[in-house]
Amino acid sequence: MTEYNSRFQFQDFISYIEVVCPKCNAKAIVSGGKSNVRVEEYEKEVRFKCSACQYKIEYAKTPKFNTLIRLKKKRTLLLNLPVDPFFGFDLWCVLETPDGLLWAYNQEHLALIKKY
């Protein structure tokens, strides 16, 4: 059995995220995220696309919000929640268990959870 690697973080799985399309409830994809890189450096590559209804969004075209640090406008990633960190769409891989909510960004993330 492979030993669990505790060095993985949620950011390690943000390049390909399986989500629920907010328009048609089909499985859709958020792609383009990168781990260990500031979001400003790759935000133009992040996209949402639903193959079922053809709904698309580019992350770079979403609003920026004022922050308390230097009142600079920026985007905030929503990590550690059962939503994708860019658009806030519900994740596809979510399961309610007696011990609480279990969720994963994609099949690779889910496989790591199963190994644990």
Per-domain boundaries in the chain: 10-115
Measured between alpha carbons, how far is 41 from 77 in angstroms, rounded to an integer? 13
Tokens representing 41? 């450096």
pLDDT digits (tens, 9 = 90+) for 2-20: 444 456 555 667 899 999 9
Q: What's the pLDDT at 64?
A: 74
The model's pTM is 0.78
The secondary structure of 1-51 as a DSSP string is -PPP-TT--GGGGTTEEEEE-TTT--EEEEE---TTS-GGGTGGG-EEE-T
Measure Cα distances from 98 to 74, 95, 113 in Å.
Answer: 38, 10, 17
pLDDT digits (tens, 9 = 90+) for 47-88: 999 999 999 999 999 887 765 555 556 666 666 789 998 999
